[in-house]
Protein backbone atom coordinates (compact mmCIF):
# COMPACT_ATOMS: atom_id res chain seq x y z
CA UNK A 1 0.00 0.00 0.00
CA UNK A 2 1.50 3.33 -1.10
CA UNK A 3 0.61 6.46 0.86
CA UNK A 4 -0.81 9.23 -1.36
CA UNK A 5 1.01 12.54 -1.79
CA UNK A 6 -0.25 14.90 0.97
CA UNK A 7 -0.43 17.74 -1.56
CA UNK A 8 -2.61 15.60 -3.82
CA UNK A 9 -5.06 15.16 -0.94
CA UNK A 10 -4.90 18.79 0.21
CA UNK A 11 -5.75 20.16 -3.22
CA UNK A 12 -8.75 17.86 -3.41
CA UNK A 13 -10.14 18.65 0.02
CA UNK A 14 -13.06 21.01 0.42
CA UNK A 15 -15.85 21.85 2.81
CA UNK A 16 -19.35 21.39 1.42
CA UNK A 17 -22.56 22.79 2.87
CA UNK A 18 -25.65 20.73 2.11
CA UNK A 19 -29.07 22.26 1.47
CA UNK A 20 -30.11 21.84 5.13
CA UNK A 21 -26.93 23.53 6.40
CA UNK A 22 -25.07 20.31 7.24
CA UNK A 23 -21.31 20.85 6.86
CA UNK A 24 -19.19 18.02 5.51
CA UNK A 25 -15.52 17.75 4.64
CA UNK A 26 -15.07 16.12 1.24
CA UNK A 27 -11.69 14.60 0.39
CA UNK A 28 -10.14 11.49 -1.16
CA UNK A 29 -10.13 8.43 1.07
CA UNK A 30 -6.67 7.58 2.46
CA UNK A 31 -5.23 4.37 3.98
CA UNK A 32 -5.31 5.94 7.45
CA UNK A 33 -9.12 6.11 7.21
CA UNK A 34 -9.45 2.45 8.18
CA UNK A 35 -10.59 3.23 11.76
CA UNK A 36 -13.08 5.82 10.51
CA UNK A 37 -14.46 3.25 8.08
CA UNK A 38 -14.97 0.75 10.90
CA UNK A 39 -16.72 3.39 13.02
CA UNK A 40 -18.97 4.37 10.11
CA UNK A 41 -19.81 0.72 9.45
CA UNK A 42 -20.92 0.37 13.08
CA UNK A 43 -23.33 3.29 12.53
CA UNK A 44 -24.96 1.63 9.53
CA UNK A 45 -28.24 -0.14 10.19
CA UNK A 46 -28.46 -3.85 9.27
CA UNK A 47 -30.67 -2.85 6.33
CA UNK A 48 -28.11 -0.33 5.01
CA UNK A 49 -25.33 -2.90 5.39
CA UNK A 50 -27.34 -5.45 3.45
CA UNK A 51 -28.09 -2.97 0.68
CA UNK A 52 -24.42 -2.00 0.36
CA UNK A 53 -22.97 -5.53 0.32
CA UNK A 54 -26.09 -7.38 -0.92
CA UNK A 55 -25.56 -9.99 1.76
CA UNK A 56 -25.59 -10.03 5.58
CA UNK A 57 -22.32 -8.51 6.83
CA UNK A 58 -21.85 -8.08 10.58
CA UNK A 59 -18.32 -6.68 10.52
CA UNK A 60 -15.51 -5.61 8.20
CA UNK A 61 -12.49 -7.89 8.38
CA UNK A 62 -8.98 -6.39 8.33
CA UNK A 63 -8.58 -7.72 4.78
CA UNK A 64 -11.80 -6.00 3.65
CA UNK A 65 -10.66 -2.71 5.19
CA UNK A 66 -7.28 -3.04 3.49
CA UNK A 67 -8.88 -3.59 0.08
CA UNK A 68 -11.30 -0.70 0.57
CA UNK A 69 -8.54 1.75 1.52
CA UNK A 70 -5.79 0.55 -0.86
CA UNK A 71 -6.35 3.01 -3.71
CA UNK A 72 -4.29 4.10 -6.71
CA UNK A 73 -6.58 7.14 -7.37
CA UNK A 74 -6.77 6.26 -11.09
CA UNK A 75 -8.35 2.83 -11.51
CA UNK A 76 -9.65 2.71 -7.94
CA UNK A 77 -10.75 6.03 -6.44
CA UNK A 78 -12.88 6.88 -3.41
CA UNK A 79 -14.21 10.10 -1.90
CA UNK A 80 -14.83 10.28 1.85
CA UNK A 81 -17.32 12.60 3.56
CA UNK A 82 -16.57 13.60 7.16
CA UNK A 83 -18.96 15.32 9.59
CA UNK A 84 -17.42 18.74 10.31
CA UNK A 85 -19.57 19.46 13.35
CA UNK A 86 -19.22 16.09 15.09
CA UNK A 87 -16.33 15.48 17.53
CA UNK A 88 -13.39 13.89 15.75
CA UNK A 89 -14.94 14.47 12.32
CA UNK A 90 -16.16 10.90 11.85
CA UNK A 91 -16.74 9.37 8.44
CA UNK A 92 -20.36 9.54 7.29
CA UNK A 93 -20.20 8.58 3.62
CA UNK A 94 -18.02 7.05 0.92
CA UNK A 95 -18.29 6.89 -2.86
CA UNK A 96 -15.90 4.74 -4.89
CA UNK A 97 -15.33 3.46 -8.37
CA UNK A 98 -13.27 0.53 -9.63
CA UNK A 99 -12.42 0.48 -13.34
CA UNK A 100 -13.71 -2.57 -15.23
CA UNK A 101 -11.00 -4.91 -16.47
CA UNK A 102 -12.83 -5.65 -19.73
CA UNK A 103 -13.61 -2.01 -20.63
CA UNK A 104 -11.36 0.85 -19.42
CA UNK A 105 -14.11 3.41 -20.05
CA UNK A 106 -16.48 1.72 -17.58
CA UNK A 107 -16.22 1.58 -13.79
CA UNK A 108 -18.34 -0.07 -11.14
CA UNK A 109 -19.48 2.58 -8.67
CA UNK A 110 -20.99 2.45 -5.20
CA UNK A 111 -22.13 5.05 -2.67
CA UNK A 112 -22.72 4.52 1.05
CA UNK A 113 -24.11 7.09 3.52
CA UNK A 114 -24.73 6.30 7.18
CA UNK A 115 -28.40 6.26 8.12
CA UNK A 116 -28.72 9.55 10.03
CA UNK A 117 -27.26 11.49 7.09
CA UNK A 118 -29.37 9.88 4.40
CA UNK A 119 -31.95 12.04 2.61
CA UNK A 120 -29.89 15.27 2.85
CA UNK A 121 -28.30 15.22 -0.61
CA UNK A 122 -24.98 13.78 0.55
CA UNK A 123 -25.30 10.68 -1.64
CA UNK A 124 -25.84 12.84 -4.71
CA UNK A 125 -22.88 15.07 -3.85
CA UNK A 126 -20.59 12.05 -3.42
CA UNK A 127 -21.79 10.52 -6.67
CA UNK A 128 -21.25 13.75 -8.59
CA UNK A 129 -17.75 14.17 -7.16
CA UNK A 130 -16.97 10.58 -8.09
CA UNK A 131 -18.19 11.19 -11.63
CA UNK A 132 -15.96 14.24 -11.98
CA UNK A 133 -12.93 12.22 -10.84
CA UNK A 134 -13.78 9.36 -13.17
CA UNK A 135 -13.91 11.68 -16.17
CA UNK A 136 -10.42 12.93 -15.34
CA UNK A 137 -9.19 9.36 -15.78
CA UNK A 138 -10.97 8.43 -19.00
CA UNK A 139 -14.03 6.75 -17.52
CA UNK A 140 -17.24 7.67 -19.33
CA UNK A 141 -19.83 5.35 -17.77
CA UNK A 142 -20.66 4.08 -14.29
CA UNK A 143 -22.17 0.69 -13.65
CA UNK A 144 -23.84 0.06 -10.33
CA UNK A 145 -25.64 -2.90 -8.80
CA UNK A 146 -28.45 -2.32 -6.34
CA UNK A 147 -31.13 -4.45 -4.76
CA UNK A 148 -34.44 -4.19 -6.56
CA UNK A 149 -36.15 -2.89 -3.41
CA UNK A 150 -33.50 -0.18 -2.79
CA UNK A 151 -35.83 2.48 -4.12
CA UNK A 152 -33.91 5.44 -2.70
CA UNK A 153 -30.64 4.62 -4.50
CA UNK A 154 -32.44 3.59 -7.69
CA UNK A 155 -34.26 6.93 -7.70
CA UNK A 156 -30.99 8.86 -7.34
CA UNK A 157 -29.32 6.93 -10.16
CA UNK A 158 -32.30 7.03 -12.49
CA UNK A 159 -32.98 10.75 -11.88
CA UNK A 160 -29.35 11.36 -12.82
CA UNK A 161 -29.91 9.74 -16.20
CA UNK A 162 -29.26 6.11 -15.34
CA UNK A 163 -30.94 3.23 -17.12
CA UNK A 164 -31.92 0.14 -15.13
CA UNK A 165 -31.67 -3.50 -16.22
CA UNK A 166 -32.61 -6.58 -14.23
CA UNK A 167 -29.42 -8.53 -13.64
CA UNK A 168 -30.70 -11.47 -11.63
CA UNK A 169 -33.09 -12.36 -8.86
CA UNK A 170 -33.69 -9.19 -6.88
CA UNK A 171 -30.74 -7.26 -8.38
CA UNK A 172 -30.82 -4.30 -10.76
CA UNK A 173 -27.86 -3.10 -12.84
CA UNK A 174 -27.88 0.66 -13.45
CA UNK A 175 -25.75 2.26 -16.18
CA UNK A 176 -25.04 6.01 -15.92
CA UNK A 177 -23.32 8.03 -18.63
CA UNK A 178 -20.88 10.70 -17.49
CA UNK A 179 -21.04 13.61 -16.83
CA UNK A 180 -23.98 12.82 -14.58
CA UNK A 181 -27.20 14.75 -15.16
CA UNK A 182 -27.68 16.93 -18.24
CA UNK A 183 -28.75 19.93 -16.16
CA UNK A 184 -25.46 19.84 -14.26
CA UNK A 185 -23.07 19.96 -17.23
CA UNK A 186 -22.81 23.76 -17.39
CA UNK A 187 -23.75 24.56 -13.79
CA UNK A 188 -21.52 26.17 -11.16
CA UNK A 189 -21.77 22.93 -9.13
CA UNK A 190 -20.34 20.82 -11.92
CA UNK A 191 -17.54 23.28 -12.65
CA UNK A 192 -16.63 23.35 -8.96
CA UNK A 193 -16.53 19.56 -8.73
CA UNK A 194 -14.45 19.23 -11.89
CA UNK A 195 -12.00 21.79 -10.50
CA UNK A 196 -11.84 19.83 -7.25
CA UNK A 197 -11.20 16.59 -9.14
CA UNK A 198 -8.34 18.30 -11.00
CA UNK A 199 -6.73 19.41 -7.75
CA UNK A 200 -7.65 23.08 -8.01
CA UNK A 201 -8.96 23.24 -4.43
CA UNK A 202 -9.46 23.71 -1.61
CA UNK A 203 -12.65 25.72 -1.92
CA UNK A 204 -16.01 26.05 -0.20
CA UNK A 205 -18.79 24.23 -2.01
CA UNK A 206 -22.33 25.28 -1.19
CA UNK A 207 -24.02 22.25 -2.64
CA UNK A 208 -27.60 23.09 -1.74
CA UNK A 209 -27.30 26.60 -3.20
CA UNK A 210 -25.69 25.38 -6.43
CA UNK A 211 -27.87 22.42 -7.26
CA UNK A 212 -30.61 21.06 -5.06
CA UNK A 213 -31.44 17.38 -5.31
CA UNK A 214 -33.68 15.26 -3.09
CA UNK A 215 -31.16 12.39 -2.80
CA dihedral of residues 112, 81, 15, 156 (deg, nearest 10): 0
Instruction: With H, G, I as helix, E, B as strand and everything else as coil, classify residue 182.
Output: helix
pLDDT for 184 equals: 52
Contact 31, 101 (CB under 8 A): no
Question: 112-137: per-residue pLDDT in tens?
Answer: 999 999 989 898 889 889 999 999 99
Percent of the chain at pLDDT > 90 equals 49
**Burial, 90: exposed, middle or buried (Cβ in 10 Å; 0-12, 13-18, 19+)?**
middle
Banded model confidence at residue 215, pLDDT cuts 50, 70, 90 = very low
**pTM, two decimal places:** 0.85
Query: What is the per-residue DSSP string for 15-80?
Result: EEE-TTS-EEEEEE--GGGHHHHHHHHHTS-HHHHHHHHSS------HHHHHHHH---SSSEEEEE
Banded model confidence at residue 210, pLDDT cuts 50, 70, 90 = very low
Amino acid sequence: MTAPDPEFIRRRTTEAVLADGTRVLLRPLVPEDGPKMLEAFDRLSPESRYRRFMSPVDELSPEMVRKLTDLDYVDHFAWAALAVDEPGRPGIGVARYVRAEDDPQVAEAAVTVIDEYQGRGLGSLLLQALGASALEHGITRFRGYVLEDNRAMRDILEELGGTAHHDGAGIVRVEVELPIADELRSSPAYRALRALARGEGPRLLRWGALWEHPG
